[in-house]
């Protein structure tokens, strides 16, 4: 069904997992479905547990992506998973800015690290930060 030579028409509502995949937040649709099934997606502040939950333009989605929490407002739905610039036009990113991760002190690249370098690196251990 073509509309004025611009490809297939975009639907009025779409599955949440499919939209997240189309908008390129997740590499596969199955991964998006797994995140939703685990209860990590909020649709307009309500938890969603079904990947088949319909989303529409104007809805706000909140979900984790890597170490960030993403908050996006859906601007449009897509009929296909297109290139990245096309995917960026589907949403408005309202995610809070995250402060940059602290820099790893490491050592001064003078060959093998010494005891002082190891103690500094151990004090910076990421597992202690979380």
Tens-digit pLDDT string for the chain (130 aa): 444 444 466 678 999 999 999 999 999 999 999 999 999 999 999 999 999 999 999 999 999 988 889 999 999 999 999 999 999 999 999 988 877 766 665 556 667 777 887 888 787 776 655 5
Neighbour tally for 71: CB within 10 Å: 16
Q: Structural domain tally of the chain?
A: 1
CATH number at residue 52: 3.10.290.10
Residue 43 lies in a domain: yes
- Cα separation, 50 vs 107, whole angstroms: 48
120 assigned to some structural domain: no
In a domain, residue 40? The reply is yes
Backbone angles phi, psi at 14, to 5 degrees: -150, 155
Structure tokens at 74: 């859906």
Q: Which domain holds residue 34?
A: 14-93
- Residue 18 belongs to some domain of the structure: yes
């Amino acid at each position: 069904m073509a509309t004025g030579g611009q490809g297939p028409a975009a639907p009025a509502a779409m599955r949440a997992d499919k939209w997240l995949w189309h908008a390129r937040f997740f590499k596969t649709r199955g991964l998006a479905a797994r995140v939703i099934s685990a209860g990590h997606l909020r649709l307009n502040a309500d938890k969603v547990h079904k990947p088949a939950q319909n989303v529409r333009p104007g809805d706000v989605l909140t979900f984790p992506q890597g170490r960030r929490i993403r908050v996006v407002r859906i601007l449009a739905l897509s009929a296909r998973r297109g290139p990245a610039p096309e995917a960026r036009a589907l949403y408005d990113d309202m995610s809070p800015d995250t402060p940059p991760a602290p820099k790893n002190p490491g050592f001064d690249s003078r060959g093998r690290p010494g005891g002082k370098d190891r103690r500094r690196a151990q004090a910076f251990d990421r597992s202690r930060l979380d």
